Amino acid sequence: MNAFERLSLNTATIKKSTLAEAVELSAAAGLGHIGLWRDRVAEAGLEKSAKLVADAGLQVSSLCRGGFLTAADDGGQRRAYEDNVQAIIEAATLGTSELIMVVGGLADGERDIAAARGRVADRLAELAPVAQEHGVRLVLEALHPMYAADRAVLSTLGQALDLAAPFPSRTVGVVVDTFHVWWDPQLEQQIRAAGEQGRLASYQVCDWNLPIASDALLSRGYMGDGYIDFATISNWISQTGYSGPVEVEIFNQQIWDSSPAEVVQTVADRYRTLVLPHL
């Protein structure tokens, strides 16, 4: 078996590369999958993007991203609905069933985080039938609590599972992103619950680096450069029976400024030594 059959390069990891370049590098390195961001798809064109990936013999592990569902005003809610419907259609066209959902932070001037989570639930109820129609799963991503105000009012895998609970597992799932959830003392139990419920839709890996970058979004690193125990978390993932892609998504200015080919090679090497043996 190809050691990299399950490995997926998220295009954000080589941010400066075009989609065509990312596809070529992934295929040349023997990866089986690629994770797409919508901006790269928009640049290349939706139909052309699907053809690029298919012609290279790759599969799309996920599409990033839908979400931002917390608008408090009618206009904002309508725009969120329309954008997420488009994202669902894009995911289906690209051949992936997994649409990553970053749910959004507090509305301007808001202090009531529970109300914001309630609006996420309302928007999911509106979008679930559309996702079902297109065979796409809305994949809720819990983000580290430092992003709760501006990016995601879901901070734990448990919260994501609670929001997913009213919907079929093939319609609303969850992603385990090590950067965001490695610290959670309930992580083992929640990964097990996600597996038992059939909601584990994606496994994303990268490391937690210190010091935190001035832009906190850019504090991710290669596996092995930081503090995350990939052996333990990957073993928990494996115990659920999850056999899907393992996606590497890194936001880091130094990595973005490096040679994309070297980045892909480092990603593959770290995956092979730090993650794969424990899956």
Q: Does 1 have pLDDT greater than 70?
A: no
Largest CA distance in the chain: 53
List, for residues 223-241, the tens digit of each pLDDT value.
Answer: 999 999 999 999 999 999 9
Q: How high is the pLDDT of residue 83?
A: 98
Q: How far apart are CA 136 and CA 37, in angstroms?
A: 16
Query: Cα torsion at 105, 110, 114, 120 (round to 10°)?
Result: -40
Fold of the domain built from segment(s) 7-278: TIM Barrel (3.20.20)
- DSSP three-state, residue 68: coil
User: Rounded CA gap, 199 and 84, in Å?
Assistant: 20
Please give the pLDDT value at position 165.
98
pLDDT at 267: 98
Q: β-strand 207-208 against 220-221: which pairing, if any?
A: antiparallel
* pTM greater than the 0.95 cutoff: yes
- Among 263, 123, 136, 254, residue whose Cα is nearest residue 201: 136
Mean pLDDT of the chain: 97
Structural element, H or E, at residue 33: strand 33-37
Question: 154 pLDDT exceeds 80?
Answer: yes
Dihedral angle sign, alpha carbons of residues 106, 151, 162, 119: positive
Alpha carbon distance 137, 59 (integer Å):
16
What percent of the chain clears pLDDT 70, i.e. is strictly above it?
Answer: 100
- 88-130 per-position pLDDT tens digit: 999 999 999 999 999 999 999 999 999 999 999 999 999 999 9
Instruction: Note the pLDDT of residue 240.
Output: 98
3-state secondary structure of 74: helix
Least Cα distance to 130 among 160, 86, 85, 161 occurs for 85
pLDDT digits (tens, 9 = 90+) for 50-97: 999 999 999 999 999 999 999 999 999 999 999 999 999 999 999 999
